[in-house]
Structure 1
Amino acid sequence: MARAMSSLVAAMAIAALCASPALAQRRTADGHPDLSGVWAGREEAVKALAPGQSTRILFPVRTNPDDKRIFDEMDRAAKERQAAEPNKPPYKPELAGKVQLLSDKRQFNDPAFYCKPLGVPRLGPPSQIVQTPGLVVLLYQGRNTFRTIPTDGRAHNADADWTWNGDSVGRWEDDTLVIDTAKLVEDSWLGADGWFHSNKMHVVERLSRKGDALTWAATVEDPVVFTKAWEMTPRNLKLNPNPKALLEEDPPCLEQDGPHIVTDDHH
């Protein structure tokens, strides 16, 4: 019994030692959490396909993709998803009509439909992070977008122009990377539902890692159109376990459908 007990204790000790590196927070040489890696928006996206499985459905629809009604079905599914999202920007009451009009005519108004940049914060969380001392680079799967975030303590560039992704600076608050962005052009939207903003918008993003999970959260302030700051719904990402994983280059965005839109149908 004593031999069995000592063997059990030894086995538990070995298991604890083996588990410790996985549980410990990965850190860089300067002591900050290591956010580097390729991150997927949903856990299913990084899981291996099951034997015999050739495709993975992440956006379920009730119609065969080859059916001519597939776009109607995508429209329905998208509307259901949007309606189920209770967290919407707190627009001033007098602007509700404008938001609704932009949403109803989004196929004509949404800049993303015409290959314009998504902009911050509509870009959402990055698909890959490259972290170096004093600088973090965010890469996005979509139109080959990237952002460079200095983390060396510098202030905003007073001479920076207004752009789609704005002027960003980063800082560390404990183990959270905080990205402060200003000078964002008012051409972008916050989402596909006519969520416009002014050029006074100010965005603060927060990225924090626990194990192989990354959480992205953002606070949006716009005193011109909002009644209060908007806390966007946090997004959780999963680390791609393949150490050699890289983002594939996106094909160019070519707008060819705009002149042929004749109805208010959209998805």
Structure 2
Amino acid sequence: MTTQSARRLRQGLAMASAAALALGAVTAGAQPPGLPPLGAGGPPGGLPPLNTTGAVPDLAPPLPPPPPAEQLAASLPDPQPGTMLADDPLPADSPMPSTDPHNLRGAWHHNQKLEFRMRRDMYDKAVPFTMEGVKILARRIQSLKDGKPYLNASAICRPPGQPWQLDLNMPFLTLQTNDAVEFLFEHYHGRWNIVFDPAKNPPPAKKAYMGYSVGHWVGDTLVVETTGFKQALWLDADGTPLSKNGKLIQRIRKVDNGDRQPFLEIITTFVDPANYTRPWSVVRTFSWQPSLAVLSEYNCEQQIGDPTTEPNAGLVPEPDDQAE
């Protein structure tokens, strides 16, 4: 080792020793050099001592109040509690869906609680009502409270729209060709047709209750846009509204995590400036249930009363605030 190297080594050891001594002094409560002396009353400079016993103050600014429409929605009476029909476990020899993610064929059943009223979106944010939209909902809820509920498609056995059909705890079948996917619902004998090529299957001359749906694949997800409804929809039993000029965007994918519990996931986005200040979305899941592939008979008229003796089951017409 050269003389210069030895000198550098001794200097480095001296600096390390000095740092260790300074650290020991601080740990022992000594005042490091170069800082003002600690007074008996607390920090230097006359600052008050830190309050370590009370709650830490919230430095974030307060959130603004919700818009008036959302405040009105929050003030409405709570909906009925949701119900759910539990699915039976799949037998060991049960057939499983196709491994092709683009093949949606099979029998499926809603495996979540039925929501009588949608109040939060899939991100747990309040439904972004316009004042017009929430007033329609409030009127419908009041009609139920008054014992004079309004007529809707469900009450007179007409197709109630995709959201209501999908939310019911009843099975549906998916059929599929190269040109279309069709959902067949046990409830209301509903049919939801999704075409892939509008040139081959253009919109019908007359608008349909379920609208006109066009789908395309994005990776393993079927993206479906539905417009052209014959009439406004009730999105749920309490009457969350969608105007007939509104649009549904559904993203449908089959999920199989290898646990013998495959399911369909459907994310529905509602686009309706008349009733909502922005698009909002909900997510629903549907378990694979091949034992329900033979749909049971469902007589809608008997469920609400024979129309020949009890016209409209006592429901009353609703004012149409959003007529064209």
TM-score (norm 1): 0.63
Q: 1:37 aligns with which of 99, 106, 110?
A: 106
Q: Say whether residues 1:214 and 2:264 are aligned partners.
A: yes
> What's 1:173 paired with?
218
Q: Deviations over 1:133-162 (max 9, x none)?
A: 122111112011112221246488366432
> 286, 290, 304: which one pairs with 1:237?
286
Distance 2:207 2:161 in 1: 11
Bigger Rg, which one: 2
Structure 1 regions of 5+ residues with no counterpart?
1-21, 44-58, 60-77, 263-267
Deviation at residue 121 of structure 1 after TM alignment: 2.9
Where does residue 99 of structure 2 map in the other structure?
Answer: 26
Equivalent of 1:246 in 294, 298, 304 = 294
Query: CA, structure 1 residues 261+117, in 2 after alignment: closer, same or farther (shift >3 Å)?
Result: closer
Letter in 2 for 1:250: Y
Structure 1: distance between partners of 2:158 and 2:215: 25
1:96 aligns with 2:165: no
Please state whether the residue corresponding to 1:101 is helix, strand or coil.
helix
Pick closer, same or farther for the CA change 1:184–1:246 going to 2, 3 Å: same
Q: Residues 227 and 155 of structure 1: is their aligned pair in 2 closer, same or farther, counting only changes over 3 Å?
A: farther
Q: CA separation in 1, counterparts of 2:111 and 2:119?
A: 17
Moved more, 160-169 or 117-126: 117-126
Give the conservation status (yes or no) of the 8 Å contact 1:176–1:207.
yes
Which of 237, 249, 264 pairs up with 1:204?
249
Q: Distance in 2 between matches of 1:102 and 1:167?
A: 27
Contact preservation (8 Å) 2:161, 2:233: yes
Q: Write the deviation string for residues 5-58 of structure 1: whole angstroms up to 9, x where unpaired.
A: xxxxxxxxxxxxxxxxx999712xxxx522110001128xxxxxxxxxxxxxxx
Displacement of 1:102 in angstroms is 1.4
Change (3 A) 1:84 1:191: closer
Q: 1:138·1:147 contact (CA, 8 Å) conserved in 2? A: yes
- Corresponding residue number in structure 2 for 1:16: none
* One-letter code aligned to 2:281: E
Matches within 5 A, 1:46-57: none
CA contact (8 A) 1:110 1:194 kept: no
Q: Which amino acid aligns with 1:97?
A: K
Paired with 2:296 and 2:97, the residues of 1 have a C-alpha distance of 30
Change (3 A) 1:133 1:158: closer
Normalised to the residue count of structure 2, the TM-score between the two structures is 0.53
Distance in 1 (alpha carbons) for counterparts of 2:131 and 2:205: 33
Q: Distance in 1 between matches of 2:272 and 2:119?
A: 21
Other-structure match for 2:190: 145
**Is contact 1:37–1:128 with CA below 8 Å preserved after alignment?**
yes
Q: Is the 8 A contact 1:154 1:169 kept in 2?
A: no
Deviations along 1:165-213, one digit per CA (max 9) or x if unpaired, are 0011111111111111110133431112232232210111111001221
Amino acid at match of 1:219: T
Secondary structure at the counterpart of residue 122 of structure 1: helix
| 1:194 maps onto 2:244 in alignment | no
**Corresponding residue for residue 149 of structure 2:** 108
1:225 aligned to 2:275?
A: yes
Amino acid at match of 2:99: R
- Which amino acid is 2:164 matched to? R
Structure 2 gap segments, 5+ residues each: 1-94, 257-261, 317-324
How far apart are the structure 1 equivalents of 2:132 and 2:198? 40
Deviation at residue 104 of structure 1 after TM alignment? 1.8
Q: CA deviation at 1:227?
A: 0.5
Q: How much identity, in percent, do the aligned residues show? A: 23
Q: Which moved more, 1:176-185 or 1:148-157?
A: 148-157
Q: Deviations over 1:207-246 (max 9, x none)?
A: 10012211111111112221011212x111111144x832
- Is residue 2:181 matched to residue 1:136? yes
